[in-house]
Copies of this chain bind each other. A is one copy, B any other.
Amino acid sequence: DRCGYPEVVYGEGKTPEQIIEVFRAQQAAGQACLATRISAPHAEAVLAAFPHAVHHPVARTIRLTSPSSRLAVTPLRDGLEGHKTPAVLVVTAGSSDRPAAEEALETLAWAGAECALITDVGVAGPQRLLKQVDRLSEARVVIVVAGMEGALPSVVGGWLSCPVIAVPTSVGYGTSFGGLTALLGMLNSCAANVAVVNIDAGFKAGYLAALMLRSASPGPQES
């Protein structure tokens, strides 16, 4: 396994058969499975083989709880009212940033990390963010997903005292350059608590957040 977690399948350019084969091996080894970047038709084929797998069409992921079930978690997507703040909050600037945010949530769920989604707190409507600051400051890690100018992680980072993982998205037009402008903005954040991952890399953000929650177990990894 990689990094203490079962290996994750990068679905781009793989056939459903290849994915099913990896999942079979992982299930046999008692591991939870995750595949990302899965198209709708491929997902259907995989679900036919694993009817208990969870396919998320916006995240474009399929995950499969390990038989021993230790990691069963469901992300909170419909508001946090009446809920205790989970360890990880995933925040989006606009509704188009949803796919990368969902990929992060599904990765967190697969990794067994409690998590929730807060949407549409982009900087052009500043009151919306202000209303969430108290909630956000209760999380242990916050993932911020934003396209266009990518300013949101800086603003969120300025309010919080926990690590912020910034995910630039390919949302925008003209000089948004497929997410490059958002990425550059995040790398140059004047908030010091902002770490950055690749454009649209919701998976990496979720994976890193889950790692940050565990205290790393000593000893070299086996694979």
Contacts and interface: CB of A to CB of B under 8 A. Distances in A.
A21 to B, nearest CB: 12
Interface in A150-194: 150-151, 154-155, 157-163, 165, 168, 170-194
A69 B160 CA distance: 25
A197 B208 contact: no
A81 interface: no
Contacts of A95: 13-14, 18
Given A195-B197, A196-B187, A2 B173 contact: no
A184 to B, nearest CB: 4
Q: Specify how many copies of this chain sit in the oligomer.
A: 8
A212 B139 CA distance: 13
Interface stretch (A25-33, A41-49, A118-126): A118-126
Contact of A3 (B171, B191, B221): B191
Nearest to A168: B174
Contact of A124 (B128, B141, B150, B191): B191
Interface of A: 2-5, 8, 10, 12-14, 18, 93-96, 122-128, 133-134, 137-141, 148-151, 154-155, 157-163, 165, 168, 170-201, 203-204, 207-208, 211-212, 215-221, 223
